[in-house]
Copies of this chain bind each other. A is one copy, B any other.
Amino acid sequence: MLGGMQDFELRVPRLIEHAAREHGRREIVTRWADGSKTRTDWAGIERDARRFAQALVRLGLRPGDRVATLAMNHAHHLAAWYGAIGMGGVIHTINPRLFDDQLVYIANHAEDRVLLYDRAFQPLVDRLRDRFTTIEHYVIMDPGSQSGAGGEGDSTFRALVDAEDGEFAWVEGPERDPCMLCYTSGTTGNPKGVLYTHRSSVLHALAEIQPAVFDLDTRSVLLPIVPMFHAAAWGLPFAGAVAGCKFVFSAVNDPPVLCDLMNRERVTTSAGVPTVWLGLFAHMDATRISPEHLRLVTIGGSAAPRAMIERIMRMGVRVNHAWGMTETSPIGTMGARSPDWDRLAFDQQVDQVAMQGRAPFGVELRTVDDEGVVLARDGRSSGRLQCRGPWVIGRYFKAEEAATDADDWFDTGDVALLHPDGTMQITDRAKDVIKSGGEWISSVELENAAVGCPGVAEAAAIGIYHPRWDERPLLLVVRKPGSMVSEAEITAHLGDHVAKWCLPDAIVFVDELPHTATGKLLKTALRERYKDYRLAAA
């Protein structure tokens, strides 16, 4: 051989080792569900992680085994991730907001052997314990005194960890070993598991701390509002270790608690779905208290309304608009500022942030039409968004077939267009697009325009069979309390925002709309409910 550089497997335990060694005293603060607050640091998290790894070995777990969590964001959850992964296991974060049948399917499909859960989920655990076929050990994660009927015999995370001495060497192995399992909560069929590897998680974490993405260094104080059971809290528990930043976790997402934590702990950086920011705004309006130290807010999970982006930017806070999915670890694009940012007017800056941003190194994007022909990056041609890269899924857990085509392209199910400068703009979910006479009408565009109409609380657009046009839009509207907004008023408002041929053929007022466990509109249920609806003009 000629010579060369060192071997160094990209394994997740190296992240916690780095954080403990180089940033050992940087704090990890938790505000627990019972209102108490505790402080540890990266050295403390590593100590707990090693002891938890020992405890898992004592319970008989072997490398590759799955360790499940039903838990909110807190220091024990963080230590459990690094401990389970460090003993060679696979941490499996279950979304407690799923329906019972989904929870049972997921835990059994994953063959989880241990379930770590927060006291808040004791009723859930008691209800489903008999249906979980593979779980041998139940462990209560968070401190507190309240406990349900069935939890008396379950051990606690603290007791397990305190029984060990921490003399544990991280399990070594190839960097393509699995380390984490996250199920997607699709709107149809059973949830599917995405199996992250050590390599994909480390590369994703390295990419995340760059200035154009989460912009993290040891000076950052990071409060991830996105739960650790949503695509690994967007990978932040790994990225935070690379950067050595201070973490502030809250096990509850009440706006007053979050705002108070942000100010007391001097939080610089936060990340969450659009609804959490709406809650925070309401709190700010009611109390006149604002987060004082915020510097960067990332909004993802679903598209951020323009007014939300504008409001945060007017607070002097940088806004990143992110796009991704569980299958992409999840960072696909990030709305970083362009080279000409400083020369743009404020409205132009908001326009830029309102799009989904650009792909960092590692992610490759393209759009294709219905025949699979690759579309131009012209800012006009909308098509199915596909992506590939080292933190993009290859195959779902236990699936027989690849999740991609032969060239590794993963079809995201989103419809988007790419601008010449690489900026990506989501226009719709592929299955929600309304196909009218060979043209595509974006349901998202109609819904966004409709909620901008005074008196409209929420709206959903779906395609209804039409003998001539194949499909035409039906708009379902939930009025705000007390509002009497009419179909004509909404149509007039829409006329100012969408092309005439995209206007809905009918508007139906409803009391509420169905949602998925993660808060997204459940369009499948709507399409089923209105499948026999006949448009007047048809």
Which residues of the other chain, B, contact A211 by a CB distance below 8 angstroms? 209-211, 215-217, 243
Q: How many residues of A contact B (CB 8 A)?
A: 70
On whether the beta carbons of A5 and B361 are closer than 8 Å, the reply is: no
B6 touches A408 (CB 8 A): yes
Cα of A7 to Cα of B389 in the assembled complex, Å: 8
Tell me if A176 counts as interface (CB < 8 A to partner B).
yes
Assembled-state Cα–Cα distance A211/B218 (Å): 9
| A193 sits at the interface (CB 8 A) | yes
Task: State whether the Cβ of A197 lies closer than 8 Å to any Cβ in chain B.
Answer: yes
State in angstroms the CA–CA spacing of A329 and B8 once bound together. Answer: 15
Residue A527 CB within 8 A of the other chain: no
Q: Is there an interface contact between B388 and A6, defined as CB atoms closer than 8 Å?
A: yes
A246 touches B209 (CB 8 A): no
Verify if A291 is at the interface (C-beta below 8 Å from B).
no
Q: Give Cα distance in the complex from A408 to B6, angstroms.
A: 7
How many copies the complex holds: the figure is 2
Residues from chain B with Cβ under 8 Å of A341 in the complex: 219
- In the bound assembly, the distance between CA atoms of A10 and B1 in angstroms comes to 20
User: Do A3 and B391 have beta carbons less than 8 Å apart?
Assistant: no
Kindly identify, within residues 185 to 227 of chain A, every residue whose CB is under 8 Å from any CB belonging to chain B. Answer: 193-197, 199-200, 203, 206-207, 209-212, 215-219
Complex contact B218–A395 (CB within 8 A)? no
Is A520 an interface position by the 8 A CB rule?
Answer: no
Tell me the smallest distance from the CB of A22 to a CB of chain B, in Å: 4
State whether the Cβ of A466 lies closer than 8 Å to any Cβ in chain B.
Answer: no
Report chain B residues within 8 Å CB of A243: 210-212
A195's partner among B4, B14, B25 (CB-CB below 8 A) is B4
Known: A6-B408, A203-B206, A241-B361. 4 other contacts (CB 8 A): A5-B197, A5-B394, A6-B394, A22-B359
Closest 6 pairs (CB-CB, A-B) = A8-B390, A5-B200, A22-B422, A212-B217, A211-B217, A3-B395
Question: Can you list 10 A-B contacts with CB-CB less than 8 angstroms, sorted by A residue number?
Answer: A2-B195, A2-B398, A8-B408, A10-B390, A206-B361, A209-B210, A210-B216, A210-B217, A218-B338, A241-B361
Could you tell me which A residues sit within 8 Å of B by CB distance?
A: 1-8, 10, 14-15, 18, 21-23, 25-26, 176, 178, 193-197, 199-200, 203, 206-207, 209-212, 215-219, 241-243, 246, 329, 336-339, 341, 358-359, 361-362, 364, 388-399, 404, 408, 410, 421-422
